[in-house]
Amino acid sequence: MPAKFKMPKQRIICACFPLFSSNGAVIPVPINQLPMDFYNNEMRHDPNFRLKVSSADKFLTNHGKVVNEREAFIIAVEAGQVEETRTKGQLCVTDLWEF
């Protein structure tokens, strides 16, 4: 009898930039960089980068789901990544450094 697969609890793994021209594809931001620093670095290499990605704060979960700041906050609280009283109901990209 095959073992049952247990889906791990959803967690926030990084910030990301959704691509405008795709169906759900994102560019993940390395956990050790602020999105704006990553964005500026990419702009130096590709001046059209800003035309390809959304600049809204988005987050990627370990389930591959892209979520906004409010959804990310709920997921992070349920996963024990942040305290519920710490922020105003939204996850900030700088909160990721404390994970």
Q: What is the pLDDT of residues 42-98, one digit of tens each?
A: 888 888 888 888 877 799 999 999 999 999 999 999 999 888 776 678 888 877 766
In a domain, 5, yes or no: no
Is the predicted pLDDT of residue 4 greater than 60, yes or no?
Answer: yes
Indicate the residue type of 65.
K
**At 45, is the secondary structure helix, strand, or coil?**
helix
Instruction: Tell me which residue range forms the domain holding 93.
Output: 12-98
Cα distance between residue 17 and residue 63, in whole Å: 17
Is the predicted pLDDT of residue 19 greater than 70, yes or no?
Answer: yes
Structural domains counted in the chain: 1
Q: Are 50 and 3 in contact (CB under 8 A)?
A: no
End-to-end CA, the chain: 37
Question: What is the predicted pLDDT for the residue at 94?
Answer: 79
pTM for the model stands at 0.78
Mean pLDDT of 28-53: 85
In a domain, 87, yes or no: yes
In a domain, 54, yes or no: yes
In a domain, 3, yes or no: no
